[in-house]
């Protein structure tokens, strides 16, 4: 979808507009259809409500909601820092675009893998688990993890995910590049839309 939009007359700005509008539509749908608790949902059956409440518990909802949102709130804040940092690495010629993107990719995947391994052995303590999730999400990794009765099965899931982070990051570091591919610049007319150009190619003032 992103590639289709960027190659259309909407250009790169159209990507952000599309996903912004889509997010707004989803927010409206969730506002009308979602509920704070199973008991407040108008369409849930009594059996389903009881099952969900028995599995998840019915503790302090406000506290649970805050703990659930905290890792993603931290991720939102650190996103600004990492965006600025990677831009500075390129603009000040500290690293090439390729090495900057490899560094950023490693900075996201390696801490996430470490966090997942730590989570596999974490005790059933909400504050320890929350700290690990905050650490993971602080490095721009969106994680939605939880508990299940069988700790050993979850441990296998975390190990597998951690291994994927390590392996895919290693492949990207070895073979990845930030150099433009030939298909990035198809034949176009002489008129250039400056707003649709990548940031690094805009004329310097």
Of the pLDDT bands very low, low, confident and very high (cuts 50, 70, 90), residue 198 is low
The count of domains in the chain is: 1
In a domain, 25, yes or no: no
In a domain, 140, yes or no: yes
Is the CB of residue 107 less than 8 Å from the CB of residue 173?
no
Q: What is the pTM of this model?
A: 0.49
The single residue listed with the structure tokens 């704070």 is: 36
- Give the list of residues 6+ apart from residue 80 with CB closer than 8 angstroms, or none: none
In a domain, 161, yes or no: yes
In a domain, 45, yes or no: no
Q: What pLDDT is attached to residue 183?
A: 66
Taking the CB of residue 97, how many other CB atoms lie within 10 A of it?
Answer: 16
- Can you read off the two tokens belonging to residue 90? 């390129």
Q: What is the pLDDT of residues 153-174, one digit of tens each?
A: 677 777 888 888 888 888 888 8
- Can you read off the two tokens belonging to residue 198? 């990548």
Number of H helices, E strands in the chain: 7, 0
In a domain, 78, yes or no: yes
Expressed as residue numbers, the domain containing 114 is: 60-179
- Give the list of residues 6+ apart from residue 72 with CB closer than 8 angstroms, or none: 137, 142
Q: In whole angstroms, what is the distance from residue 129 CA to residue 17 CA?
A: 36
């Amino acid at each position: 979808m992103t590639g289709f939009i960027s190659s259309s007359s909407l250009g790169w700005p159209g990507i952000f507009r599309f996903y912004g509008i889509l997010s707004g539509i989803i927010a409206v749908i969730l506002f009308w259809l979602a509920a704070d608790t199973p008991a407040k949902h108008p369409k849930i059956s009594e059996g389903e409500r009881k099952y969900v409440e028995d599995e998840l518990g019915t503790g302090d909802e406000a506290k649970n909601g805050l703990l659930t949102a905290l890792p993603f709130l931290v991720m939102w804040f650190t996103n600004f820092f990492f965006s600025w940092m990677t831009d500075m690495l390129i603009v000040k010629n500290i690293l090439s675009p390729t090495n900057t993107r490899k560094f950023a990719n490693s900075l996201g995947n390696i801490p996430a893998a470490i966090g997942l391994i730590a989570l596999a052995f974490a005790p059933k303590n909400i504050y320890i688990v929350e700290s690990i999730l905050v650490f993971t999400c602080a490095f721009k990794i969106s994680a939605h993890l939880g508990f299940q009765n069988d700790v050993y099965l979850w441990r296998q899931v975390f190990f597998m995910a951690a291994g994927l982070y390590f392996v895919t990051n290693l492949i990207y570091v070895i073979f990845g590049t930030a150099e433009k591919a030939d298909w990035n610049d198809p034949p176009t007319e002489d008129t250039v839309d400056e707003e649709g150009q990548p940031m690094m190619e805009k004329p310097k003032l």
